[in-house]
Structure 1
Amino acid sequence: MSYLDNPILDTDSYKASHWLQYPPGTDATFFYVESRGGTYESTVFFGLQAVLKSRLGRPVTHADVDAARDFFAAHGEPFNDPGWRRIVDVHGGRLPVRIRAVPEGSVVPTHQALVTIESTDPAAAWLPSYLETLLLRLWYPVTVSTISWQARRTILQYLEKTSDDPAGQIAFKLHDFGARGVSSAESAGLGGMAHLVNFMGTDTVSGVLAARVFYGEPMAGYSIPAAEHSTITSWGREHEVDAYRNMLKRFAKPGGLVAVVSDSYDIYHAITEHWGKTLREEVIASGATLIVRPDSGEPVEVVHRCLSLLNDAFGSTANSKGFRVLNHVRVIQGDGVNPESIRAILERITGAGYSADNLAFGMGGALLQKLTRDTQKFALKCSAARIDGAWRDVWKDPVTDQGKISKRGRMTLVRHREYGSYRTVALPDDAVSLAPADLEPGWEEAMVTVWENGELVRDWTFAEVRERAAAGR
């Protein structure tokens, strides 16, 4: 047993003392998760299933309790040894909580309950709070998926304006370059997988594997052969064209794609002389599509100029919407890419008459790392406690920050069948969900039970998640 795999120790230190802090007679608590606003007005809910499977997928054992007891004794915190022993002895180590959530892939406005967590054993009312640390980490895949989804909306807007096949183009228009820029392999897996909810292009292997392990998707993303600076510059500047020719010989196949970083020295010289003259006929004869990658400079200006030079060298064809589509070549911009620069680049090139078909993006740190829990202001809060047999609303209302007012009472989320709008509404005392008679006409429950007493009871497939996110519902 590893300390790092012990679910009892996957918490904040002060949580170990909280079982002694609730009022006497407390035998149930109810918590919820929401985005309290932030950069975007809606979030794409994703990743809870992965968090549950990875962190709570095995029962707690007496060995786990022993290790946690000894750790907290040395660490300076009291430890609920009897409470954890009871979970092992009475529940077989399976945690007595119920977790309900919106279906993964749902696009839900901020300020709505996305998840609820409640205790199911009167002797373990303290447990939902104890789990806050590991459960709230779902903010990360939700936020990555949201950023990626918003980028998809932007790119699709320009494709619909300038492309003959927007639906066929969108899946590979934003490639995940973020694996090396994240804080851990776990982040690469969760974040890389979250991006794949919206796109199918990635170089983050961990994300593809995470989708396989946690959502049963055999192959969630794809990549292509591509050069990096070391594989180009190792030939020497005087043999730059030979490095490019080698890429064509090795990887350029009819109908295939090959990406070559071309700015190790002078991107404009590489396009006009090497690609546009020396290798032009070889590119055309290969039957492949060459993807030129600039990797420095001011993105809006560089992309526009690269497209113009490639148009001069290879020509273009006007599509049915009157926009130019380059022959034989494309561009991928992977430097300085973020939601704002994506829009600025697309506005520039489409304004110059080039279809968005000509361009793909690679996004790294801005996709998987340049975000925090406050990007969408995620919080997990207690909203109700049952004390001496009666439910009591619980909430915070700090005078210094009205944005941190929390919700009160037991709650669920409902959705309007026709309009797709959401509302967080109260639950009757001790009810798990709303009965049909409790729902207003046109409204339906938007939450389902996904986890109960240590068991995953709803296992979403990646295809279901993708379909839901693409529909924006």
Structure 2
Amino acid sequence: MPHAHWLLRNNMMLVITISSSGALSDAFDADLVPDHGGHKQLALQGAAGQSAAIGGAAHLVNFSSTDNIAGVCLVKEFYGHPMAGFSYPSTEHSAQEEVLDTQGRSVGESSEGITQPGREASEATESTMTPWNEVGEAAACRNALQTFPSGPASVVSDSYNVFNCCEHTWGQRLRRHVIARAEHHGGLLIIRIDSGDAPEVVVEVLETLARCFPVFENKKGYRMLPDYLRLLHSDGVTLEMADAILANVKANRWSAANVLLASDGTLLQRLDRNTLRFALQCSAATICGEERQVFQKPVTDITKKSKKGRLTLQRNCNEYSTAEQGKGAADEDYMMLVYENGHLLIDHSLEDIRKRSDTVSVGVTKT
């Protein structure tokens, strides 16, 4: 499509910005990057349609935890990966179609003194919390453990008072259930919060849980929750916010391994071409047989200065730099011709792309 090349560039900004932002996580202090079971943890949610598929696929270059089904399907179809991402059961605050029971009533009480909904409660309440009302929050938590009896399960715990829920519901009323689920079924309870001042709330919740569950120190002297308990924050986690959360966790002698982070829709929706100063511009032109360097250098904003002349992308160890004005060696150019005149010349797999991303040192690139 030589006369409509701009169509191919239409979604490049989204893909490049998301995958590059994901790679920036490797620039964090090595002690701060959560790594659970060999998987980088930054779950992705919150988009729809084509943007969800394209953005979700870009996220999977650097992460394997996702709730974005469209992205997983795109990678399977075009990059040959049978299952590029994974998730686990989780509850939500509410859903539009929720009803508590056929009459909208909450009745009954368990042997533990926890208010329960009526027997005819909708199956939809198995994965939501607020239809049980505040007085029934403990029952909703108990129901979540029963609905997801094994493996990891995320239960949102800040519909009302997250500290009360963590101390009195998880730490007292349901403590035996949490431990038994782990001992007999390999259960992992992930307590999810998505409100408040994240750096402060995360540490406060960790301290609350430490009063109810056994805590030990790892080899580096940082405190760890038991293996069956983790904390997830999922409200607007940008790279800057993630850095602040993990830095405060470390400052309070907690290991980052206790904490999982999710970006909800932030990674897909709070970005534009200025996020990473993305632009595709002409840098050289041949006019009447004369090659000219093409660039801009606005006196009002020096940051908008563009590269000029023929460009080559070169690599020195793990760092990349751009040689301008034709000064680079063409045979050392890392830019590859992948698509030309409607033909795919190189068919990269997701594993190829992931391996290449892992070799890049982000944040120290020279220009």
- Interval containing the TM-score (normalised by the shorter chain): 0.7 to 0.9
Q: How does 1:51-66 map to 2 (within 5 A)?
A: none
Matched, 1:175 2:43: yes
The amino acid across from 1:210 in the alignment is L
SS in 1 for 2:241: helix
Residue aligning to 1:295: 194
Q: How does 1:321-470 map to 2 (within 5 A)?
A: 321-327=220-226, 328-388=228-288, 390-397=289-296, 399-400=298-299, 401-416=301-316, 418=317, 420-425=319-324, 434=330, 444-470=332-358
Which fold has the larger relative contact order, with Cα–Cα distance below 8 Å and residues 6 or more apart in sequence? 1
SS in 2 for 1:379: coil
Residue aligning to 1:208: 72
- Could you report, residue by residue, the CA deviation over 1:236-261 in whole angstroms, capped at 9, with x for unpaired residues? 322222211111112131xx111100
In structure 2, C-alpha distance between the alignment counterparts of 1:239 and 1:341, rounded to whole Å? 32
Matched, 1:246 2:114: no
Aligned residues: 321
In structure 1, C-alpha distance between the alignment counterparts of 2:222 and 2:305, rounded to whole Å? 50
- Could you report, residue by residue, the CA deviation over 1:8-55 in whole angstroms, capped at 9, with x for unpaired residues? xxxxxxxxxxxxxxxxxxxxxxxxxxxxxxxxxxxxxxxxxxxxxxxx
Residue aligning to 2:24: 150
- Could you report, residue by residue, the CA deviation over 1:240-286 in whole angstroms, capped at 9, with x for unpaired residues? 22211111112131xx1111001112111111111111110111011
From 47, 52, 60, give the equivalent of 1:188.
52
In structure 1, C-alpha distance between the alignment counterparts of 2:18 and 2:140, rounded to whole Å? 36
Residue aligning to 2:129: 232
In structure 1, C-alpha distance between the alignment counterparts of 2:37 and 2:307, rounded to whole Å? 42
The verdict on how the C-alpha distance between 1:148 and 1:170 changes in structure 2, with shifts beyond 3 A counting, is farther
The amino acid across from 1:174 in the alignment is L
* Residue 463 of structure 1: how far off its partner (Å): 0.6
In structure 2, C-alpha distance between the alignment counterparts of 1:279 and 1:341, rounded to whole Å? 31
Are the equivalent residues in 2 in contact too, given 1:170–1:199 (CA < 8 A)?
Answer: no
* Residue 154 of structure 1: how far off its partner (Å): 2.1
SS in 2 for 1:309: helix
Are the equivalent residues in 2 in contact too, given 1:136–1:379 (CA < 8 A)?
Answer: no
* Residue 451 of structure 1: how far off its partner (Å): 1.4
The verdict on how the C-alpha distance between 1:150 and 1:406 changes in structure 2, with shifts beyond 3 A counting, is closer
SS in 1 for 2:291: strand
In structure 2, C-alpha distance between the alignment counterparts of 1:399 and 1:472, rounded to whole Å? 31
TM-score with structure 2 setting the length: 0.80
Structure 1 vs Structure 2 CA RMSD: 2.4
* Residue 131 of structure 1: how far off its partner (Å): 2.2
SS in 2 for 1:194: helix
From 313, 316, 321, give the equivalent of 2:215.
316
From 13, 37, 45, give the equivalent of 1:139.
13
Identity, % of aligned positions: 37
In structure 1, C-alpha distance between the alignment counterparts of 2:19 and 2:27, rounded to whole Å? 12
The verdict on how the C-alpha distance between 1:275 and 1:448 changes in structure 2, with shifts beyond 3 A counting, is same
From 280, 304, 315, give the equivalent of 2:203.
304
- Could you report, residue by residue, the CA deviation over 1:38-75 in whole angstroms, capped at 9, with x for unpaired residues? xxxxxxxxxxxxxxxxxxxxxxxxxxxxxxxxxxxxxx
Structure 2 gap segments, 5+ residues each: 95-127, 362-367
Higher deviation after alignment, 398-407 or 272-281: 398-407
In structure 2, C-alpha distance between the alignment counterparts of 1:330 and 1:175, rounded to whole Å? 14
The amino acid across from 1:434 in the alignment is A
The verdict on how the C-alpha distance between 1:149 and 1:420 changes in structure 2, with shifts beyond 3 A counting, is closer
Are the equivalent residues in 2 in contact too, given 1:396–1:404 (CA < 8 A)?
Answer: no
In structure 2, C-alpha distance between the alignment counterparts of 1:413 and 1:450, rounded to whole Å? 15
The verdict on how the C-alpha distance between 1:279 and 1:210 changes in structure 2, with shifts beyond 3 A counting, is same
SS in 1 for 2:282: strand
Q: Which structure has more strand as a fraction of its residues?
A: 1
SS in 2 for 1:242: helix
The verdict on how the C-alpha distance between 1:368 and 1:209 changes in structure 2, with shifts beyond 3 A counting, is same
The amino acid across from 1:456 in the alignment is L
TM-score with structure 1 setting the length: 0.63
The amino acid across from 2:238 in the alignment is N
In structure 2, C-alpha distance between the alignment counterparts of 1:267 and 1:447, rounded to whole Å? 50
The verdict on how the C-alpha distance between 1:156 and 1:189 changes in structure 2, with shifts beyond 3 A counting, is farther
In structure 2, C-alpha distance between the alignment counterparts of 1:399 and 1:303, rounded to whole Å? 44
In structure 2, C-alpha distance between the alignment counterparts of 1:155 and 1:207, rounded to whole Å? 28
Are the equivalent residues in 2 in contact too, given 1:393–1:408 (CA < 8 A)?
Answer: no
In structure 1, C-alpha distance between the alignment counterparts of 2:290 and 2:81, rounded to whole Å? 42
